[in-house]
Structure 1
Amino acid sequence: MTFLRPLATKKTKAEKLRAGSTSRLLAAAALAGLGTMAIELSAVRLIAPWFGTSQAVWTSAIGAVLVALCAGYLVGGRWAHADAPEKRLSVCLWAAAAWAVLLPKIAPWIAALLVPEGASLEQVASALPLTSLACSLVLFFPPALLLATSGPLVVELIARGTSCPAGSAGGKVLACSTVGSLLGTFGTTYFAIPSLGVQGTLWVTAGLICLGAVFSSRAGAQHQAAGLVLGALLSGWIQPDAEPFELIAIGESPYQQVRVTELEDGWRALEVNEHRGSFQSLWAPEPGLLGPGYYYDYFSLPPAWSGASEDWDALVLGLGAGTAWRVLEGALPLGVELGATGVELDPLVIELAREHMGLPQSSEGRRVISGWDARVALGPLRQEGSRWDHVVVDVYANQVEIPAHLATVEFFTAAQGVLKPGGWLQVNVGALGVDDPLVLAMGATLADVFGGPTLALEVPFSRNVVLCQRHQAPVLTPSDPGFADVGLELRALVQRAQVPGTWTLLDSGDGQVLTDLDAPMESLQRASLARLGGEL
């Protein structure tokens, strides 16, 4: 018996067209997913100069996008049953691309309306949940909604064009959209923003969404008209805005926007996401004390209190542009050599500080550990046997927030482990007074770790408190005779620290001892800001 192999049938022209149309529609769905995630991840970076990048701001941005996705799915589902859904899909994608182009221009205007120029950092923070949510809804709800309509519309178009079951079509669309979202997530964070900045990222995103619009429909005249409109939007803004005359350098890292600005008298400031006159680091033409109102000067006291005579080894966690190094270098007693190590999370901060703020290259006596979290770095440093006379903790995730994992018993125990006997630990805390809730909690935590009271020193003319502890030795207090036994240059600083009401000793029972499993830093920050609001 002879069996005949059935002849392979060739796809008809109509079948090939349907297959090509399906591929283009799935590509459009993938590009819409990419655009959604790129806009969402760029969102917080775009409004960070006004609101910061705290968890509350991320929550507002993510919440606004989720609400938009919900609304967009419903709208897309309704439009899927209308005539010519492919035209609606194309219009939505073109409109989303246009909005992405507009975002870098309208964001400052919207943020300025919600955060008046005269508002203090504390006032901004107290209203942060509402203002950041309002800003996110105005800026990011429209493009996310427009992009979300693509899912139901693409499912309907594939089902109509191929007689494919709705479940099968929906699965393909969801898979392609998720792949696009993954590409948008990793591409935006690790490639686009560091290389192109936020504005460049949004423009590239707009271009990719436009490509999805072209894939979604064959309406040539519509594409030409939309392309002309988008080109007109870009043509007026292809040149970057003129920056203020004091701006020296600006860059985008995976963590933040970093700027170096020129201040009065030749001073320079390094700013990260700031927009309200605050700064992360300062550079003065000459090393040494900066003057009243600067907490960095308090880092110069431990060498004098310890009677340093030859070398003073200091580890700065949260190095920034190296302000603490320069203050120590200029204020150390005569003949004392500074051995300095610094840990900084953001490599771009180090790069700009070396170019514009005098931060030295790593060499003997100066070691910069770039790209490391402060807590993570302590493990290898301890393993290699390094020990210091002085550890400075000056770490902030945003303008006023200390990361919870850098304020706990476990973290301070690790920091204590790299101190020499008699070595000092100092922590900069953004707070109002020595009885601030955040100061009480962190002072109690330090006291629990070191086994003795924590000295809290309020910095006059600022919103900072410096906490001091000592390994295997008691801390000096302003009432001790040795407290004022410092050089002439530090005498005024010590006298300010001795003013009644500006210092206190904190025991482990004076506040909540923070641990990795229980460190309510955000509620402590809110309590601190609420207390400030009551005094204004």
Structure 2
Amino acid sequence: MTQPLFPLFTHLWLYCTVFLTGAAVMVIELLGTRLIAPFYGASLYVWASLISVTMIALAIGYFVGGRWADRAKRMGLTLIIALAGMFTLIVPWITGPILLATDSLGLRLGTFISTLILFTPSLTMLGMVGPFAVKLATSNLDGIGASTGSIYAVSTVGSVVGTLFLGFYLFPRIGSHEIFLGLGSGLFLLALIVAFFERKRFKLTTAILPVMLLFFIGVSLLPKITNNDHKQHHSSFQTRFERESLYGWVRVIDNPTLNLRLLTADASTIGAAGLSHGENVLTYQKIVGLIPMLAPDMSKALLIGQGAGHMATNLQHHGILTDTIEIDPAVAEAAQNYFDFTPTGKTIIGDARYEIRQLQGTYDLIILDVFTGGSEPVHLLTKETLSQIHALLSEQGLLALNFVSFLEEGTNIAVASVAKTLAEVFPYQLVFISEPGIDFNDFIFIVSKQLISIDSGTLKPDQSTWLRNRLLNLDQHAGIVLTDNFNPLEYFQANKSEYYRRMLVDSFGTEFFIR
């Protein structure tokens, strides 16, 4: 007997199964970052952990699935997919306890171990589908190559479709918890359908009973998930706004005791104002607010990283029209509704690296303030990006850049690298420290094509003294020039990310950062 020319049509149900389970693998991997990021931040370590755990789980699944396929006589794809559905369904329920249990391990190890525990079971089960499908699709050794190639090709196409469907359509409309629950339920439905096609190997009732049992086990946990979703974690803090976006978990949080309103994105504070007066309370933004007095003729500014919008509001008081770029629409919404931010120029929603290439004309002041989620989007701190910004500045224009790190008595390689990279593009540079005498700090770099002097503007004597006390003489020799080709800034900032996260956890409590 000859092998069919198109084995795909011989086992259409089987190829549909590997297509859908391939899509499920990528949905779980991508959604995993959204469950981990509010607690551990959206750093490279989170992505590295998710990718590594996915590869580990799939490798285990391929190995175990192959052996199981050769030996199984009473169990088939139905049970494997049902187990994947149950493990997927319970992920939102166990996320909180797992994150809390791994908190003491630190940023890197804690991220990896929590990811390993949360996603290995479901991804391993989904990895087992491929070898099982190869076994079922192969009628003789002559066709094993074509069957194997077809199975894994269809599974990979499913992964591509799952990635695009989640990123472009599903995730912007539905929360990550709801997607996990929907995916788990969908896998159970797929298991029931597969049971119908496997009825020749197993009795239909024998195949369906384990599926129903596993489904009821998963569903029984849903009330616990629901109860955990909206609990108030800390009595001192009141959540006024909450939105899960493509870029993070954005919240507006009030603390009446401290007369404070915060704007947070994942595990990072990106805006703070007094509840009673609504004015900015972050010192580094006060430093930036004095910049117009260093160059009094400013009329147009660009703010990259809008946050709560305080800096744009301050510039309006100086008669400066400000365009803003903010990657997260949820942040822009919160700024207008809870921090009284009113745009004075164009409001651009998008990634700054792309958007600055589309801008026309020049600016007298550009503010780059993109610290978020405990880390920086490092592609915005390279020589290439700064060269693009240089082209947008007028001849007398200034660039102000905020950077969070440790001083380490002037030896911090991350701070020195930012200073050195700026010096490659701009000939003149001033560096200020937000809180003198404190190691962990905001560093404000002011650079220009022309000479900058504190004494050359219209600062009042007390403002000049206040600013001069924060002037920092920074040694750039310890740093490297950051480029698109080589940019180890996130590695340099690992201790900073861990410290910043611990500082927030101590303030809010660990449970405050669990969805």
Which residue number in structure 1 is paired with residue 25 of structure 2? 36
Is the CA contact (8 Å cut-off) linking 2:33 and 2:42 kept in structure 1? yes
Which of these residues, 505, 515, 518, is aligned with residue 486 of structure 2? Answer: 518
1:185 counterpart SS class: helix
Question: What displacement does 1:451 show?
Answer: 1.5
Q: Which residue of 240, 258, 262 maps to 1:248?
A: 240
Distance 1:220 1:142, change over 3 A: closer
Moved more, 504-513 or 410-419: 504-513
Q: CA deviation at 1:208?
A: 2.0
1:137-194 deviation line (CA, Å, top 9, x unaligned): 111111111111111112222336x998333332332233223212221122222222
Q: Which moved more, 1:265-274 or 1:48-57?
A: 265-274
Deviation at 1:249, TM superposition (A): 2.0
The Cα of 1:506 is off from its aligned counterpart by: 4.5
Aligned mates of 2:160, 2:101 — CA distance in 1: 34
The aligned amino acid for 1:425 is L
User: Equivalent of 1:166, from 126, 144, 152?
Assistant: 144
2:308 aligns with one of 321, 346, 359: 321
Residues 529, 269 of structure 1: alpha-carbon distance in 2 compared, 3 angstrom cutoff: closer
1:476 is aligned, of 453, 467, 483, to 453
Shift of 1:197: 1.0
Q: Is the 8 A contact 1:155 1:170 kept in 2?
A: yes
Shift of 1:227: 3.2
For 2:54, what is the secondary structure of its paired residue?
helix
Q: 1:214 to 1:424 in 2, by over 3 A?
A: same
One of 244, 265, 273 as aligned partner of 2:266: 273
Pair 1:388–1:237, CA change in 2 (3 A): same
How far did residue 498 of structure 1 move? Answer: 3.2
**Larger displacement relative to structure 2 (506-515 or 132-141):** 506-515
Is 1:486 the counterpart of 2:459 in the alignment? yes
Equivalent position of 1:25 in the other structure: 14
Q: Is residue 231 of structure 1 aligned with residue 219 of structure 2?
A: yes
Q: Which residue of 2 aligns with 1:443?
A: 419
2:321·2:345 contact (CA, 8 Å) conserved in 1?
A: yes
**Aligned in 2, Cα 1:136/1:56: closer, same or farther, shift over 3 Å?**
same
AA aligned opposite 1:417: A
Which structure: larger Rg? 1
The SS at the match of 1:290 is coil
The C-alpha deviation readout for 1:452-487, integer Å capped at 9, x for no partner, is: 344343434662111111232x2225xxx558x624
2:346, 2:274 → 1: CA distance? Answer: 21
Could you say which residue in structure 1 is the equivalent of 2:127? 148
Alignment partners' CA distance in 2, 1:458 and 1:101: 46
Which secondary structure state, in structure 2, belongs to the residue aligned with residue 429 of structure 1?
Answer: strand
The yes-or-no answer on 1:73 pairing with 2:79 is no
Find the aligned partners of 1:44 and 1:234 in 2 and give their Cα distance. 21
Correspondence for 1:354 among 332, 336, 354: 336
Q: Distance in 2 between matches of 1:238 and 1:164?
A: 52
CA drift at 1:344: 0.9
Q: Secondary structure at the match of 2:428?
A: coil
Q: 1:84 aligns with which of 70, 73, 79?
A: 73
Show the counterpart of 2:511: none
Structure 2: runs of 5 or more not aligned: 196-203, 501-515
> Is 1:390 aligned to 2:387, yes or no?
no
Q: Aligned to 2:138, what secondary structure does the other structure show?
A: helix
Render the CA deviation track for 1:421-446: whole Å, top value 9, x for unaligned: 32221110011227232221111222
Mapped to 1, the partners of 2:498 and 2:329 lie a distance apart of 35
- The answer on whether the counterparts of 1:453 and 1:508 sit within 8 Å (CA) in structure 2 is no
Match of 2:272 among 282, 300, 324: 282
What is the CA distance between 1:306 and its match in structure 2? 2.5
| Maintained 8 Å contact 1:300/1:327 | yes
- Could you say which residue in structure 2 is the equivalent of 1:431? 405
- Residues 35 and 176, structure 2, Cα contact 8 Å, conserved in 1: yes
- Alignment partners' CA distance in 2, 1:254 and 1:424: 32
Name the CA shift for 1:228/1:457 in 2 (closer, same or farther; >3 Å): closer
Residue 84 of structure 2 is matched in structure 1 by: 96
Counterpart of 1:431, as a letter, is S
CA shift digits 1:316-370 (9 cap, x unpaired): 11112313223444xx4xxx3231111111222212332333232x5xx332111
8 Å CA contact retained: 1:315, 1:392? yes
- Residue 118 of structure 2 aligns with an amino acid whose one-letter code is L
Matched to 1:395, the amino acid is: V
Q: Deviation digits for residues 480-526 of structure 1, max 9, x if unmatched?
A: x558x6248xx3x6544433xx5324576563232333332123224
Q: Residue 257 in 1 paired to residue 257 in 2?
A: no
Contact 2:263 2:271 in 1 (8 A): yes
Q: Matched residue of 2:443: which SS?
A: strand
* Residues 441 and 513, structure 1, Cα contact 8 Å, conserved in 2: yes
Distance in 2 of aligned mates of 1:169 and 1:257:
43
Identity %: 26
Aligned partner (choices 387, 393, 400) of residue 374 of structure 2: 400
Q: TM-score, normalised by structure 2?
A: 0.83
Q: Distance between the aligned counterparts of 2:144 and 2:490, measured in 1?
A: 46
Aligned-residue RMSD, C-alpha: 3.1
Asked if 1:466 corresponds to 2:466, the answer is: no
Whether the 8 Å CA contact 2:434–2:444 is kept in 1: the answer is: yes
Separation (CA, whole Å) in 1 of partners of 2:273 and 2:499: 32
Q: Contact 1:287–1:326 at 8 Å: present in 2 too?
A: no
- Number of residues of Structure 1 aligned to a counterpart in Structure 2: 477
